[in-house]
Amino acid sequence: MADEDWIPQFNRTLDDWNKRFIITSPDVDGLLSAALMVQHYNARLIGVYTTSHLILFDDFTPEAAKEALWVDHDISYPGIQCMGQHLVRIQVEDKLPTRHNPNFNPNLIWPVAWENCFNGRQVSKVDKYPFATIHYLMKGLGIEDPPKYSKAYSLLAHADGTWVTSYDYPYNCNQWREWMFDGWPGVINDLVDQTYADDRSLAVHLGILTDLLEAGISRGRSRSNVSQDIPSDWAKIEGHQGIPFSKRTKWEGWVPKFNRVWSYISNTMNWDVNTPERITRVISGVAQPEYPDRILRTTTLDQWMEQNDVFSHAITFRSTIRYTTEMDL
């Protein structure tokens, strides 16, 4: 895969968007991605989607949400444009017929699916796209990475735990670097070559982690067990990605926390963004897991998604597809 294999689809997706509104995920990658698009297109962040709840800011409506570009998400709702990077096919031939076209996801360009992924760590096989949404957005838009040893550079390494993935899945990371980032200088090369994690980077990365935690990022880890392949003095940095939100969350307390993290990320990257003032509406769906192999016992993914009116989904483990229904837009 080279630029000519994915940049046209990337550009078609952006050309189809009216450049007005952004909805994103409540984690470091989602906020980096949203901040970039707000800065680059003078767009406006109008909401956050957690996969259980759509949080709308400042009197923006479901109709506005339908015309937004949803970044770091994979949505299957007619008319909603999305740019994500989750594994969304069980079989390579799955068509995802309710997903708006054009859309962008590297895993839909290269033939990867549940049936040929989850091969384990440290194996010489191709798996799902291993980097973050922000990385392909910056490459696709031709925006160079900040200097090494800057806080901005370490934020890019932190997004979606990419710095950990580069240790756990070196073969897969190298393959995707060749396909999408060949000749592109910056953090992806540093991570895949495993030259990022030196003492100076550790000090900078610990600094941004302290800042993120003070701002409101969750202290939880993204995995139950610390990777055995990362340098031991980096173990404390693993995880710490999201801003939690639940049906019990008090709206008036969540917005300042969100804005602290949102402002920290955008200021660190030197990107100008709008600041939400308040939550004015939350639309909740039903998020639940299913077994991919159980779906295949009786039907196909495409038929199952249509039968269950699936709004969004992601295959997160070999034994789990997480999906959301009953999102009433």
From the first residue on, what is the mean pLDDT of each consecutive set of 10 residues in the chain (329 residues)?
Answer: 83 98 98 98 98 98 98 97 98 96 97 95 92 98 97 97 93 96 94 94 96 90 60 80 95 97 98 98 98 97 98 97 97
User: Alpha-carbon distance 52 to 245, whole Å?
Assistant: 9
Run of H or E residues at 322: strand 320-325
Contact 79, 30 (CB under 8 A): no
Query: How much is the pLDDT for 224?
Result: 47
- Domain range annotation of the chain: 3-325
Q: Which residue bears the tokens 């570009």?
A: 69
Contact 288, 323 (CB under 8 A): yes
Closest CA to 213 of 240, 246, 238: 240
Query: How much is the pLDDT for 230?
Result: 78
User: Alpha-carbon distance 158 to 54, whole Å?
Assistant: 25
Contact 143, 122 (CB under 8 A): no
Query: How much is the pLDDT for 210?
Result: 95
User: Alpha-carbon distance 50 to 96, whole Å?
Assistant: 21
User: Alpha-carbon distance 261 to 243, whole Å?
Assistant: 8
Query: How much is the pLDDT for 1?
Result: 55
Closest CA to 67 of 17, 31, 32: 17
Closest CA to 35 of 262, 279, 276: 262
